[in-house]
Amino acid sequence: MTQQTPHQITRILFQDFPHWMVAVFYGVAIVAIAVFLWGVFIQLRKYAKGKRDKNLWAVARHCIGDTIATVLSHRAIRRRDQAAGGVHAIIFYGFALLFIGTATVTLQYDILGPFGINFWYGTFYLIFKLVLNIAGLGLILGLVYMMVRRGWIKPPKLNYARPDRSRADPDYNRDFYRIEDWAFLWTLILIGITGFVLSGARLVWLQAEPSVWDYRWWSPAGAAVAVALKILGISAADAAKLRLGLWWFHGLLALTFIALIPYTKAKHIFTAIGAWLVRDPEAVRRLPVGDLDQAKIGYTEIGDFGRHYLLQADACTKCGRCHEACPANATGYPLSPRDLILTVREHANQQLTPSFLGLGHAAPISILGDGNVQIRSETLWACRQCGACTEICPVAVEHVPIINLLRRSLVEAGDMDPMLQKTLDAVNKTGNSFNESRRKRPRWAKDIGFEIKDARKEPVDILWFLGDFASFDPRSQKVSRTFARILHEAEIDFGILYEAETTAGNDIRRVGEEGLFQTLAEGNVATLAECDFKRIVTTDPHSYNTLKNEYPAFGGNYRIDHASALLKELIDTGAISLSKKLDYKVTYHDPCHLGRFNKGYDPPRAAIAGTGVDFVELPRSRDNSFCCGGGGGRVWVPDPPGVTKPGENRVREAGTIAGLDMLVVNCPKCMTMLEDAVKTAGFEGKFQVKELIELVAEAMDMDGKMAAPAAAELVQ
Q: Which DSSP string do the residues of 467-505 spell out, in sequence order?
A: -HHHHH-HHHHHHHHHHHHHHHHTT--EEE-GGG-----
Average pLDDT for the chain: 94
Pick the CATH number of 6-46+57-162+172-275 from 1.10.8, 1.20.950, 2.60.120, 1.25.40: 1.20.950
**What CA–CA distance (Å, rounded) separates 493 from 491?**
6
Give the DSSP letter of residue 375.
B
Task: Specify the pLDDT at position 379.
Answer: 97
**What residue spans in the chain does CATH classification 1.20.950 cover?**
6-46+57-162+172-275
526: helix, strand or coil: helix
Mean pLDDT of 320-333: 96
Task: Specify the pLDDT at position 705.
Answer: 60
In 3D space, the residue among 47, 53, 51, 52 whose CA is nearest the CA of residue 349 turns out to be 47
pLDDT for 474 beyond 50 = yes
Give the DSSP letter of residue 217.
G
CA distances from 57 to 302, 307, 312, 313, 606 (A): 22, 12, 16, 19, 41
Q: Is the separation of the CB atoms in 480 and 444 below 8 Å? A: yes
Lowest mean pLDDT segment, chosen from 12-21, 424-433, 696-705: 696-705
In 3D space, the residue among 395, 469, 458, 424 whose CA is nearest the CA of residue 628 turns out to be 469
Task: Specify the pLDDT at position 640.
Answer: 86
Q: Is the separation of the CB atoms in 520 and 431 below 8 Å? A: yes
pLDDT for 707 beyond 50 = no
**What residue spans in the chain does CATH classification 1.10.1060 cover?**
296-415
**What CA–CA distance (Å, rounded) separates 249 from 686?**
67
Instruction: List pLDDT tens digits, range 264-322.
Output: 999 999 999 999 999 999 999 999 999 999 988 999 999 999 999 999 999 999 999 99
All residues at 6 or more sequence positions from 280 whose CB lies less than 8 Å from its CB, including other chains: 59, 286, 398, 401
Task: Specify the pLDDT at position 451.
Answer: 95
Q: Is the separation of the CB atoms in 49 and 303 below 8 Å? A: yes
Mean pLDDT of 132-159: 96
Instruction: List pLDDT tens digits, range 599-614.
Output: 999 999 999 999 999 9
Architecture of domain 296-415: Orthogonal Bundle (1.10)
CA distances from 248 to 22, 637, 706 (A): 11, 62, 86
pLDDT band at 361 (very low <50, low <70, confident <90, very high): low
Lowest mean pLDDT segment, chosen from 13-22, 56-65, 178-187, 567-576: 56-65
CA distances from 450 to 150, 595, 609 (A): 65, 33, 30
All residues at 6 or more sequence positions from 57 whose CB lies less than 8 Å from its CB, including other chains: none
**What CA–CA distance (Å, rounded) separates 174 from 3?**
60
pLDDT for 358 beyond 60 = no
**What CA–CA distance (Å, rounded) separates 4 from 559?**
74
Instruction: List pLDDT tens digits, range 529-550.
Output: 999 999 999 999 999 999 999 9
pLDDT for 4 beyond 60 = yes
Residues belonging to the chain: 716
Mean pLDDT of 192-202: 97
535: helix, strand or coil: strand
Instruction: List pLDDT tens digits, range 637-667.
Output: 998 888 899 999 999 999 999 999 999 999 9
Q: Is the separation of the CB atoms in 216 and 203 below 8 Å? A: yes
